[in-house]
Chain A
Amino acid sequence: MKKTLALVLALAMVLSLAVPAFAEDKKLPDAAGATKGTSEILTSETKSDGTSAASFEVNYPAKTTFNWGDTVADAKITYTAKTHLSVGSKLTVSVTSEKSKMTLADNADYGLEYTLKDDAAGSAPLADLTLNEIASAEKTVYVDIPQAQWDAAPVGQYSDILTFEATVS
C-alpha cells in the first residue's frame, strides 16, 4: 500500500512539473539559465473577421446590347478577373450558353444562332480564362453571329443568357 501511494505521489509530482511546458509564455533566463530565446510569429490564413483570406473577383456586365448586323469583331463582352488565392491555387472562369441561340421573347419560330469566340477574327473557339494565385486579367468574349443568320431573321429584339462560372482549384 505504501509503495503504491509513493508511486502515485511521484507520478503526480512529475505531471505537475510537466505543466509549465505547455504554457504559452517563455522566460529568460530559462530553466537551463540561457539568456537568449526565440518567439515565433506566423500568419493565419483567415482575416481578423474570421473570413477566409483567399479571394477572387470576376466582374462582368449584367446586360450587353449589340447593334443589328454586328460582326464578331463588334459583338463582344469584356469581363475582368482578379485573384488572391492560396499557394498553388488557380481560378478558372468559363463562359457558356445553354442554347447558343438568341430568341425572340414572344415568337419561338425565329432565332439567331451564334458561337462564342476567343478573338475578333472569330477564328478560335472561346477558351476559359485561367489565373494563378495572384493575378488580374481582362478578357473579351466575342459573339459570332454569321451574316446568314442576320439575313434570315426578322428584325427584333433577340436575347440569350450567358453563364459565367468561376472555379478555384
Chain B
Amino acid sequence: MKKLLSIVLAIAMVFSLSVMAFADELNTGKTSGEAVVKTSTLKEDGHTSAENYTVTYPAETTIAWEKESTDIEYTVQAQLTWDHQLKLDVASADNKMSSDNQDDYTLDYTLTGDTSIQDGPVIAEGTTKTLNIGIPAENWAKVPVDEYKDTLTFTSQLVSA
C-alpha cells in the first residue's frame, strides 16, 4: 500500500513539473522571454470552422417586354483558409424561357457576364458581380405576349487554390 501510494505521488509530482514547462516567468535571473500568440482556425465554440463565405443573389428578376439587355447583380464574400478558393457557377438548363400557358413558343436568351468565378481565399464583403440576360429584338418579335420564365442555378463550392 505504501509503495503504491508513493508511486502515485511520484507521478503526480512529475505531472506538476510538466505544467511548469507550458508557462514561463521572469525573475531576477531571467528578465526577458518570448511568448507565442497564435490563432485557431476554429471559432470560440471550439468546433465550428472559421472558414466562411456568402453569396447573395436575387430570388427573382422581372424583365420588361422587349428589353434586350438586363443586368442581374449578386454579391460574394469569403474568408477561407489560405489554400482554398470560392468557386461559383451560374447556369440555365437550356437558356430558354417558357410559358405556363402554352408550349408552342419559347423565348431564347443568352446568359453572359460573371457566370463562373473563382477567387479567394479572401473576397471583400460587398464584392459585386454582374450577370447579363440578352434577348435580341428578333427573339421578342417571334413570341406572343405572355409571361415567360426560366431558372438560373447558382452553385457554390470550395476548391483548392
Contact = CB atoms under 8 A, between A and B. Distances in A.
A is bound by B: yes
Interface of A: 24-29, 35-48, 52-54, 84-89, 133-134
Contacts, number: 134
Interface of B: 53-67, 70, 72, 88, 97, 99, 101-102, 105, 107, 133, 141-157
Contacts of A47: 64-67
B145 A45 contact: yes
A-B pairs with lowest CB-CB distance, top 3: A53-B65, A133-B144, A28-B55
B99 A40 contact: no
A45 B147 contact: yes
A39 B56 CA distance: 11
A48 B69 CA distance: 11
26 contacts: A24-B58, A26-B56, A27-B56, A28-B57, A28-B88, A36-B156, A37-B57, A37-B154, A38-B153, A38-B154, A39-B58, A39-B59, A39-B72, A39-B151, A40-B59, A41-B97, A41-B151, A43-B63, A43-B65, A43-B147, A53-B65, A87-B99, A87-B105, A88-B101, A133-B144, A133-B145
